A and B are shown apart, each in its own frame.
Chain A
Amino acid sequence: MNSLCPVMSFVPFIAPMQSVVEFDNVGLRYGTGVETLTDLSFTLYPGSFYFLTGASGAGKTSLLKLLYLAHRPSRGAIRMFGHDAITLPRSRLPGFRRRIGVVFQDFRLVAHLSTFDNIALPLRIAGIQEKDLRGPVTEMLAWIGLTERADARPATLSGGEQQRIAIARAVIGRPEMLVADEPTGNVDPEMARRLLQLFAALNKLGTTVVVATHDIHLLQEIEGAQMMRLDKGRLSDPTGSLRHPPRPLVLKN
């Protein structure tokens, strides 16, 4: 692992083998339509790395939305960080969301904020003082290669640069769980590898990582990563790995 990775200086925070997320027979239906997700039952452990694959329309983004608490399921039970996420009062959701980093497929950067301010946003929302966030954000800017573009607005940046900012914003707060929807779709292979290194570094420190992707090459990049495959809203688990605690990860060189 590259020693410049900004998350390497962070301290691990999750006790081993306590589940981060547990889905039990979860179903999701939008309005009165058919179920988008059906009978999902799985457990995600701290320190695990998961790739979520499936064809377009299989329900990957919907599953990620349940994971980052943008939706509540139509049925079933979800436990998150040891709490029942279904009955969790709305007022407590912000506290849980701060423990989850999200990389959106469409980046969702704040258009009128600079690169620096976009990356610093989660820290500012969490109430981190300016003097304490300037260092980590500057370090993160260097890691994603955008130090020179710190003052640029998203509209003036390429798709790949915007994606790197979205990833930096998701990981800057040292989340306990990182959820990424096609995080390397707009970057070149070298940058994709660097970003995966960032995810792997976070993962080594205890962050549970869930990456939804179409890119089968990514699946081979991280040894020990587990695969969740969605097919028409149902989870197929050919290896059975999700039922067992994860193996230690090794990033292939």
Chain B
Amino acid sequence: MLLDFVLPAHDRKLIPEGRLSGQMPWVIAIMLFLTLLVAAGALTLTEAARQGGQDLARQVTVQIIESDPAQRAAQRAAVTRTLRNMDSVAEVRPVPDTQVRALLEPWLGTGVIDADVPVPALVDVRFGSVPTAKTLTRLQSTLRSVAPNIRVDSHSSWMAPFFELMRALIWLAAVVFLLLLVATSAVVILAVRSTLNTHRETIEIMHMMGGTDLQAARLFQRRVALDALLGGVVGFIVAAVVIVSVGERFAAVEPGLLSGAHFPYYGWAILALIPLAVMALAMLMARMTVISALKRIL
């Protein structure tokens, strides 16, 4: 079908081509601009969810709940030793007491927490690979032999609502992406019908001289393909400018939840394919619309 894009010059004259003079290339440019932004957003979220999810899924925090500060410190040292001896653990970091108190200050107030307040000791653990539920259960039972009152918190469990939100946004973006493609197809169909009406006389004359439905369809396919290509290039350039400038602002944001949110390099290849896919879709729509319209006449 894409080979039908190439037509002899004299055939091209049968349906005059506008070259961005009509509305269709601009409408396609706007639709593609929106489609590309949605696709870029979805790709960024997917990348952020993938990277953040992998990091968080490998991390757990061990809470040592012991009211006696001396025993708590001894148990923390024992837990840290035990963890460092485990092959599956990549990194162990006992969280300093000052940092734990600082975490609680927003809730309890400054200067309230002193040595008498039984604040749990924390040890951050990073596994070499994502641990299974069985690994975590085994870890908990091993650590209980050196510190009876411990709790193992998987970071992925308390970040789960955030990642569910991200997944929901990715699905939403995918649905919007598909809706935009449907809307683009509808625009193409309307434009082809309008062009078909404008050039009905030419098509009927060709028909009466033995022109086939495919010959007529090729003329429209080429015209629509050119409009889609020109609109696609304009839409892609504007979308690329927006994506790059928004990406620069993201990079300037403090590291945190958004630290993994950047547009991946492979995303550019995917974005570049979208205008080509829209062009192919437009050609298919044009072909189907013209053939279906011509089938109504003998």
Contact = CB atoms under 8 A, between A and B. Distances in A.
Interface of A: 68-72, 90, 93-99, 102, 108-113, 117, 120-122, 124-126, 130
Nearest to A107: B205
A112 B13 contact: yes
7 smallest beta-carbon distances between A and B, as pairs: A98-B210, A97-B210, A94-B210, A122-B209, A125-B211, A94-B212, A110-B202
Nearest to A114: B13
Nearest to B15: A112
Interface string B172-216: 000000000000000000000000000001101111111110010
Given A70-B208, A94-B210, A125-B215, A110 B14 contact: yes
B11 interface: yes
* Residue of A98, A102, A124, A126 ringed by the most chain B CB atoms within 10 A: A124
Nearest to A124: B10
B201 A121 contact: no
Nearest to A133: B10
B210 A122 contact: yes
A67 to B, nearest CB: 12
Q: How large is the interface on B (under 10, 10 to 19, 20 to 34, 35 or more residues)?
A: 20 to 34
Contacts of B207: 94, 97
B298 interface: yes
B267 to A, nearest CB: 44
B255 interface: no
B21 to A, nearest CB: 15
A102 B208 contact: yes
Nearest to A97: B210
A121 B211 CA distance: 10
7 contacts: A97-B208, A108-B204, A110-B14, A110-B205, A112-B16, A117-B13, A121-B206
A126 B210 contact: yes
B208 A113 contact: no
Contact of B205 (A71, A108, A117): A108
B295 interface: yes
A94 B205 CA distance: 12
Interface in B1-43: 8, 10-11, 13-14, 16
A102 B210 CA distance: 11
Nearest to A127: B215
Contact of A125 (B16, B201, B206, B295): B206
A98 B209 contact: yes
